[in-house]
Structure formats: C-alpha cells, structure tokens
Structure 1
Amino acid sequence: MAKISTVEQNASIAIQQVTQTSQELLKNIDRGFFQEVQPYINKLYTGPIGHYMAKTILGIPLGNILAAFLAFTFVILLRKILTRHITRFLLYLTHKTETQLDDIIVNELKRPIRFLFVIIAFDLAFQFLFLDNRYTQLFLSTLLIVDIYWVFYAFTPALQKFLDDYSDKNPHLSRELGEFLVRIIRFLIIFTGLVSVLYNFGINVSAFLASLGLGGLAFALAAKDTAANLFGSIALMLDQSIKIGEWIKVNGVEGIVEDIGMRTTKIRTFEKSFVVVPNSIVANTNIENFSRRGIRRIKMSIGLTYDTPGETIRQIAEEIREMLQTHPGIAHDQTLMVRFDRFNPSDLGIFIYTFTNTSDWEKYLEIREDINLKIMEIVEKNGTDFAFPSQSIYVEKLPDNQVTKQ
C-alpha cells in the first residue's frame, strides 16, 4: 500500500506540474500584441466612423468585435503556412542525422503545432473582446493541456518504428510485443491528459487517484474476464506462439491472424469470415501453427490393377522413389518412403510418404500436381494402369430352368 501511495503522489505531482506549466505559458503567450494593437483600435472611435465603431453588442464595442474577428481569421488562415515553414526548418535539421526517427517525430508534430495556432487565435480574440476572465483562461488552459499531451502522443509512432526495427534485428523479440507496449503508453498518455484536464477544472486529483487504488480490487473482481484476456495477450506476446500473418488453428478456428489486441485475437478464416477469439482462450488452448512448419507432408497411396506383375510393381516403386529423391520441390533431408505395402480389395497399393520444402499452400499444390503427373507417366510407361473400385461375380452353375429358357 505504501508503494501504491508513493506512485499516486508522484503522478499527482507530475500532473500538477504540467497544468501549472500550461497556465504559465498561457500568461506569456501573445500578450504584447494586444497591447500594441489596441491603441490603433481606439483611434477608430475618434475617427469619422467612430460613432459606428463605438456601438456596443453585449457591452463590447463593435470595433473590438471586428478586430477580434479579423485577428482570429488571420491566424487561422496562416496556421497551415506557418506550420509548414516550422516543420520544414525542423526537417532541415533532422535530415542531417542518420536516423529516421526524428523525421517521423517532426511529421507527427504538424498537427499539435497547427492546433497551437488555434489556441493563439482564440486567445487573441478573447483579448480584443475584453474576455480575459477566469472562464476563458480555463478554456484556453484546457486546450493547451490537450496540445501538450498531443505532443507526447506524437512521439509514439517514432517509438513504434524503433521497436519494430529492434525486433527485426532480434528475431527472438516479436513486433506484437512492441505494438502492445506502444498501446499501453498511448493509453497512459491519454489517461494522464484526462486527469490533467480534471485537475485544471479544480477536481482533487490526489483523491481521484486514491479512489482508483482503493477501487482496484473491486474493479479486478468485476472485470476478471477482461483482466484474464489482458494477461493472456501478454503471455502470447512473450511466448511468441503466434504472430500477425501466420496461419493457425485454435479452439476450432482456422485462418490467418490479422491482429493481436489487448483483449482479443482477430482471425480471418479461409471462408473470409472474421472471427474474434478472447486472448484468455487462445493462451490456454492448444495452438496449431501451420506457418512455423517450414515443410508440408505428402502422404498418399496409389492402387495398381491386380494383373500387374510383381517385377513391374518393384520397378514402378523404384522409379517413383528416384523421381522424388531428385525433385527440386522435395525436402531431401526429411523422411521419404515409397513401398508396396498392401493388397487392397480392388488394387495393389503403393504407399508414398514425403515432404515438400515449402509450407506455402500454393507452392505446395504446384509441387504435388507435378509429382502426381510424373507418377502417372511412370505407371503408363511400365505398361500398367491404376485400379478403381470394382467387384467380380463368379457364377458356378445356373438353375436348369434358366438354362433351358436361354
């Protein structure tokens, strides 16, 4: 409990610091511009059209309303241009580095920078409208807090890129684990930003965080299935039993893994159905991962007619074996068997057992088709034929009355 209390205190202090920083930034933002422009607006009230400009709407002179509108519109229209120049300058600096991570960060910062100019536009408009009060400051500081956490969020794509590159260099680490960590970080940024906004509105953040700690047990009991799915997803990513894009069969569902989320695993079946399986089931069920085989088995039996001589059967089996041993699509380091193994009711069976050197379904079918055609050529070359299910009936003697009729 002491550790939890310390974490809550540290989180509360960090949130208060972010909120106070946003308020201090707001006090210093574009204040000099209003003080310099307002004297020129005052001259309108003493000019030829002063009696029009001095008219008030809700207690605000028309001249200041017009100035607020023009200032807001001017900043909004220029924000894309200003953002473009700022990002170009930042990209010019980042292009001097070898990594691409800083380029990703700059590109992601475009929207927070653009949103900052919206805040400036509102601030200017409020100043010209003489609305510099507690409520407008609360509104602007809330927007600024959102923008600060938006900047934090903009770093997560670069973090995702870094983790992806690291997992590519270290095959024992999965991309899915990196994606999961980034999702957790993004959730924490959004959650902390929400709490900061609440603090800015005067809500007691310490009590709020303490209530979360006290309610943790009740929440865990109420959401035990969700917690089980969450821990199941962590187990899947640490074990690396499945990855996105792999062909698996789990809990009776067979298909391609499209996503491994925090709660569920999404599988696209070969019938193109979309199946969502809870991670707790995936983690606690036997998983058959076909993509990790590397090879695929060919197991079949061909039947020759009963009038095929034994020497011909031996010759056919030997030629099939030699064909498979030299075939480029066969895994030659795996088991290979071609044997005349049984007398079936309608044929003489030759058992064939081998493996292709690929697990890709389409390539596997191409190899199997080629092997089947070569087997047909071998059988035809040796002057025999494939048998088909048949039945012979031998009649020893017909009744005398039927013989007389015939």
Structure 2
Amino acid sequence: MTPEIISQWLLKFKINVGMAELLSLLGAGLYLFILALLANFVAKRFIKYIIHPLIRKTSMQWDDLLIDHNVIVRFSHIGPAAIIHFFAPALFDNFPSIAGFFQLIVNTYLIVIILFVIDGVLNFTRSLWERSSMGKRYPAKSFIQAAKLVINLIGFIFILSALLEKSPLVLFSGLGAVTAILLLIFKDAILGLVAGFQLSINNMVMVGDWIEMPARGADGDVIDVSLTTVKVQNWDKTITTIPTYALITDSFKNWRGMSESGGRRIKRPLYIDMRTIQFADEDLLARFKRIRLLRPYLESKLEEIQKYNDHVGEELSELINGRRLTNVGTFRAYCVAYLRNHPKVHQDMTLLVRQLPPSSQGLPLEIYVFTNDIAWARYEDIQGDIFDHFLSVLPEFGLSAYQAPSGADLEKAGFALKQEG
C-alpha cells in the first residue's frame, strides 16, 4: 500500500492535495510499522513455541543456557529490520529522503541488535564457563565485563558513524585526541581489568573464598568478583565492597588453603603458674600411673631415667644430681597423648605441645594442632572441649593455671592481714 494509492483514495473525499499527501505518508509509515511489529511477533512466537521446546528436549544441559540468557530471542529483532529494509524503498519510491531516513534507522537498529546478541552470547559463555570446574577457580565475570565495555564502545562508534553518515575509521582516528579523557573516565575499569587478570592468573581470589582484609573492614566470604569491585559478605551478614585493584596493591589473608587442606589450626597457650612446677615425688608418680594415656610414656621414660641414675650411685640423695620426672613435663606428655587419641584432631598434620619462653604471666604451654572439621561453629566447639579438659586436669598433675590477681583476691588478702593484726 504505497503513499500514492492512499493519496488517490483520500482525494475522493475532497481532501486537498497537501493534506492528502501528508496523510498518505503517515499511513504508509503506520503500515510499515504494523508490518514490523507483526514480523517481530511472529518471530518471537516461532522461537518460543518451536525452537525453545526443541532445545528443552535435547539431552544436553548446556543448550538450556541459550534460553536462560535470551540469546535466540534476541535474533527475533532482525525480522522488523528486514521488513523495513525491504519494504521502505518500495513504499517510498517517490520519496528518496524518507526512504533514506528509514534506511538510516535500519542501519542503527541493526548495530543495536548485534550488540544485544553479542551481550547475550557473552552471558551464555560466562554461565557455561562457570559451570565447569575451572570456572569456579578462574571466574570470568571481570573478563566478560571488560569485553562488553570494549564491544559497546566500538558499537557506539559505529552507531555514530551511521547517524553522521561517516566512515568509522574517521571516528576511530579521532580517539587519539580524547585518550586522556577516556583514561580518566574508565580509570577504575582499566585498573580493575589489569587486577582481574592478575587475580585470575595467580589464582589469588575466587567466589566462595574466605578472605580477611582489616584495612577495608572485610572478613568473610567472597560473593562476587567483577571488573571494578569485589563483594565480601562479612560474618555479621554485612557486605563490604572492595575495589578489585586494592586486592593487588594491599595485603589480605585468604583462608582457602585451610579449607582445601581439610584441617583448621588451633594455636593457643595455657599459662601455667610457675610456683606449682616441681619434681614428681612418689605420690605424684603413683597418681600418674593410674592415668591410662600416660602408661606407655611412663614405662619408657622411667626406664630411661633409671638407666641414667644407675650410673650416679649414692649421689642420688640430692635431687639435682639425677634425672627426675616433673609434673609439667608429664602434663605435656599427657596433652600429646590426649590429642593423639582425639577423634576430632587431624592426625596427618602438625601436632605440637611446646613450651614458650616464661613471662610475667607464667609458663606458656602452647597447643598447636589442626582439627579435622573446618566448619567455624564445630571448630570452636572442638577447641573449647580440648581446653576445658586440659584446664580441668591441671590439679591432677599438681599444677594450676596462672591468673592475674583480681579485686576479690586483694580484698581477701587484706582481710587475712587484718585478721592476723
């Protein structure tokens, strides 16, 4: 239905020539618009009711992502562009300027469609990559965002060239003059892109890692790694947003190694009151022998001590001349035996019970082991149970834990002095 046909039909109703020509052009444009909408409607229904069901029926799972990211649906927009491209010259044969205007719209629209299709393909590629085992270790989100940024920038230049009817090379050559401005505008994106490459290549951070970055107030799980930011959900459920490049320039702690090893470290000292440290006399030895976990240690140690003391002879009357068991050494051996038999202690990782240098707080006896359960709550339960037990058995070895004097202790001492006075 060309404008000439519409104009001749309108002239039958005694409408003047100018108005008839204007209405005919509007009618032809409306007709072309309805055809474009109809083509888009038909294309979308064809994809929705024929193409998508065929994809759903396949045994493969990856092709479902094409539906999830609307990759194929975006191709339906080519229908309206094709209708306008083929019908506009025929409808507006006698109006080359209007036909040229519609051709300009089609060219611009096609560039936008291509950008949308590429965006969907990139989203599809990212989802496909993240489903793989490598995708979890090397997230592609930052690279996809960088690719989108570059592609959209190039697409914007092509749109401008289409609207201005100039070669894209002219606009590309002009980018050199605005490079400094572009670098300023996209500073965070460029820094994030470089940092994203370094983070991925060096396998420094990935989604699901527990990282600790006190300078940025972050202590929790990484939930998103993008081109410009890394989001960390802290243990109090707040979310800290960190610039991606900050993970390169600043230091942070990644607990992934702990998670992958299957063991979580306990490193905590017990402070022993040094006034309670002594040689083990007969009463203490008799008490030690009743402790099941200590029997293997006592048998070998007492035999070793006896062999040494046999060479000392009569000088054993002085304790310092021979070798003797001490209550703190025996307690340390008990701690090792207890941990070796604990079902929640990782036996294939470092297990130490060591003395640290004495201080004003007593003798630190450090427990250095790994639990075989890395879940935070259960780890704390295991650690608490171990130290509950060790603190409770100290009196069995004639030892006591150091505790700084409190107000109640001073009050008790003052009351005792008053009673004596």
TM category (shorter chain) comes to 0.5 to 0.7
Q: Does 1:352 align with 2:367?
A: yes
Question: Are the aligned partners of 1:242 and 1:289 in contact in 2 as well (CA < 8 Å)?
Answer: yes
1:340-379 aligned at under 5 Å gives the runs 350-376=365-391, 378-379=393-394
Q: 1:265 to 1:346 in 2, by over 3 A?
A: closer
- In the other structure, the counterpart of 1:296 is 264
3-state SS, counterpart of residue 353 of structure 1: strand
| CA drift at 1:77 | 7.2
Query: Contact 1:112 / 1:150 at 8 angstroms: preserved in 2?
Result: yes
Task: Show the counterpart of 1:239.
Answer: 202
| Structure 1 residue 367 displacement after superposition | 1.9
Which residue of 1 is the match for residue 51 of structure 2?
A: 90
C-alpha contact (below 8 Å) 1:244/1:257 kept by paired residues: yes
State the match for 2:316 in structure 1: none
Q: Matched residue of 1:155: which SS?
A: helix
Call closer, same or farther: CA 1:252–1:89 in 2, change over 3 Å.
Answer: same
- Assess if the C-alpha contact under 8 Å between 1:330 and 1:355 holds in 2: yes
Counterparts of 1:55-134 in structure 2, within 5 Å, are: 59-60=20-21, 65=26, 69=30, 72=33, 76=37, 79-80=40-41, 82-95=43-56, 98-107=59-68, 108-109=70-71, 111-116=73-78, 119=81, 132-134=98-100
Cα shift readout 1:125-146 (whole Å, capped 9, x = no counterpart): 9987997432232123211221
Instruction: Report the number of matched residues.
Output: 356
In 2, the alpha carbon distance for the partners of 1:42 and 1:215 equals 51
Whether contact under 8 Å (2:230, 2:244) holds in the other structure is yes
Q: CA deviation at 1:299?
A: 2.2
> Does the C-alpha gap of structure 1 residues 206 and 70 become closer, same or farther in structure 2, counting only changes over 3 Å?
closer
Task: Report the CA distance between 1:240 and its aligned residue.
Answer: 1.0
d(CA) in 2 for partners of 1:58 and 1:325? 100
Q: Which residue in 2 is equivalent to 1:158? A: 124
Is 2:243 the partner of 1:257? no
Query: Is the 1:302–1:349 contact (alpha carbons within 8 Å) kept by the matching residues of 2?
Result: yes
2:351 to 336, 343, 368: 336
Q: Is the 8 A contact 1:101 1:158 kept in 2?
A: no
Q: Does the CA contact (< 8 Å) of 1:244 and 1:258 recur in 2?
A: yes
For 1:347 and 1:283, locate their aligned partners in 2 and report how far apart those are by CA, in whole Å: 42
> Judging changes above 3 Å, is the alpha-carbon distance between structure 1 residues 394 and 101 closer, same or farther for their aligned structure 2 residues?
closer
2:107 matched to which residue of 1? Answer: 141
Deviation at 1:238, TM superposition (A): 0.9
Q: Does 1:324 align with 2:285?
A: no
Identity %: 19
Deviations 1:273-299 (CA, angstroms, capped at 9, x unpaired): 5242351x4224444212222433212
TM-superposed deviation, 1:79: 4.3
Amino acid at match of 1:175: Y
State the TM-score, normalizing by the size of structure 2: 0.65
| Counterpart-to-counterpart distance in 2, 1:67 and 1:218 | 45
Change beyond 3 A, Cα 1:145–1:59: farther
Deviations 1:72-128 (A, max 9, x none): 457647845641322432234445655444433355235524544555787779987
Q: CA deviation at 1:239?
A: 0.7
Structure 1 counterpart of 2:126, which letter?
A: Q
TM-score (norm 1): 0.67
Q: Which runs of 5+ in 1 are unaligned?
A: 1-33
Is the counterpart of residue 179 in structure 1 residue 141 in structure 2? yes
CA distance in 2, matches of 1:363, 1:56: 88
CA change 1:261–1:74 in 2 (3 A) is same
Aligned-partner residue type, residue 301 of structure 1: P
1:335 is paired with a residue whose SS is coil
What amino acid does structure 1 have at the position aligned with 2:210?
W
CA deviation string 1:163-212 (max 9, x = no partner): 2244x1x48x8332x33332233223322322221222212321222233
Cα distance, 1:160 vs structure 2: 1.3
Q: 1:207 aligns with which of 160, 165, 170?
A: 170
In the alignment, what sits opposite 1:16? none
- Quickly say closer, same or farther: Cα 1:127–1:324, change in 2 above 3 A: farther
Letter in 1 for 2:268: M
Deviations, residues 230-251 of structure 1 (Å, cap 9, x unaligned): 3233212211112223222347
